[in-house]
Amino acid sequence: MSQNQFPANFIKIFGTAGARVAQCKQLRASGGAWLRLDDTNLLFDPGPGTLVHCWAGDKPLNPGLLDGVILSHRHLDHSNDFNVMVEAMVEGGFKPHGIAAAPSDALNSPEPIFFHYLRPVVDHIYVLEEGTSFQVGQVKVSTPVRHYHPVETYGFLFSGRRVNIAVITDTRYFPQLGEAYKGADLLILNVTFLHTFHSSKAFHLSIDEIGPLIEEINPQLTVLTHFGARILEKNPTLLARDMSRRLNRKIIAAYDGMILNLDDLSAGG
Ligand SMILES: [Zn+2]
């Protein structure tokens, strides 16, 4: 019952629900993902249920081992367990350590996500901006571009000794997106809509428009996640398989609890 049951370098995707309907009905779990890369443990986008998912099942992950909790944006499906996970990281406050990182409007707005009383328990708080870059343990964390979303939002580049991971969190498509994440070995891509709809409320990527984006970034493996209700009706696994054939690339759909072995990637797999 320890992290030794996991690959040396991995991502565990706790939840694959995207946006409100999929989250509220728990059509898929919500809850972000845990990254262990080069002995550094980071948790990003802890939506509702993250702490439960950490301890659940026959392969629990102990949040006390985390080196940081990182937030792409303040929407509830990403941020609900942010305080919960920071407190779990420091074991209720008894072992202060680690970092927290979030956009300015999640930290400094009149209604911040990160409770003030908890802030002294972490070693450092990073305010994410476009072009922010910092080191946590052996991993460089960067937020290369501000996303197009109703609140301040960033994706992540996690750079380890051998593997670079891009996480494109919520955003509408915009032309600079591909360039910002180009060359990642692994791409985690939040794709919430089935079809692109041209509306001022379309703040997520769709299956229709991600092909050229994946080709521009050119990762070894693309993992689709953050699915809305329409995609779930169509079966994301089949949609990913179809896209994989059409583009002749490795594209898969995440499922709740999926564990990706990052050492397969660095070996060229
Ligand atoms: Zn959002």
- The answer, yes or no, to whether residue 93 has pLDDT greater than 80, is yes
Share above pLDDT 70 across residues of the chain, in percent, rounded to a whole number: 97
Tens of pLDDT, residues 183-223? 999 999 999 999 887 777 789 999 999 999 999 999 999 99
- Count CB neighbours of 35 within 10 A: 28
What's the CA-to-centroid distance between 255 and ligand 1, angstroms? 19
Tens of pLDDT, residues 143-172? 999 999 999 999 999 999 999 999 999 999
**By three-state DSSP, how is residue 36 classified?**
strand
**By three-state DSSP, how is residue 174 classified?**
coil
What's the CA-to-centroid distance between 8 and ligand 1, angstroms? 31
Tokens 């409007």 locate to 105
For residue 43, list its beta bridge partners: 34, 69
What's the CA-to-centroid distance between 269 and ligand 1, angstroms? 31
pLDDT band with cut points at 50, 70 and 90 for residue 57: confident
What's the CA-to-centroid distance between 156 and ligand 1, angstroms? 15
What's the CA-to-centroid distance between 170 and ligand 1, angstroms? 5
When pLDDT is averaged across residues 237-252 and rounded to a whole number, the result is: 97
Q: What is the pTM of this model?
A: 0.94
What pLDDT is recorded for position 55?
95
Residues with Cβ within 8 Å of 5's Cβ and at least 6 positions away in sequence, in order, are 59
Tokens 């937030």 locate to 71
What's the CA-to-centroid distance between 154 and ligand 1, angstroms? 10
- Which stretches within the chain are classed as H helix? 19-24, 50-55, 76-79, 82-89, 104-107, 177-180, 210-217, 229-234, 236-247, 262-266
What's the CA-to-centroid distance between 6 and ligand 1, angstroms? 30
- The answer, yes or no, to whether residue 253 has pLDDT greater than 60, is yes
Q: 115 is written with which tokens?
A: 């409770």
- The answer, yes or no, to whether residue 100 has pLDDT greater than 90, is yes
Alpha carbon distance 266, 269 (integer Å): 7
- The answer, yes or no, to whether residue 58 has pLDDT greater than 90, is no
- Count CB neighbours of 185 within 10 A: 19
Tens of pLDDT, residues 218-236? 999 999 999 998 999 999 9
What's the CA-to-centroid distance between 67 and ligand 1, angstroms? 24
Ion ligand 1: residues, CB < 5 A? 75, 170
What pLDDT is recorded for position 1?
43
Residues with Cβ within 8 Å of 114's Cβ and at least 6 positions away in sequence, in order, are 82, 83, 86, 100, 102, 106, 107, 125
What's the CA-to-centroid distance between 84 and ligand 1, angstroms? 19
What's the CA-to-centroid distance between 112 and ligand 1, angstroms? 16
What's the CA-to-centroid distance between 252 and ligand 1, angstroms? 22
What pLDDT is recorded for position 3?
55
Which CA distances in Å does 213 have to 108, 186, 219, 222, 250?
Answer: 33, 13, 10, 11, 14
Mind listing the domains of the chain with CATH numbers?
9-262 (3.60.15.10)
> Mean pLDDT of all residues in the chain?
93
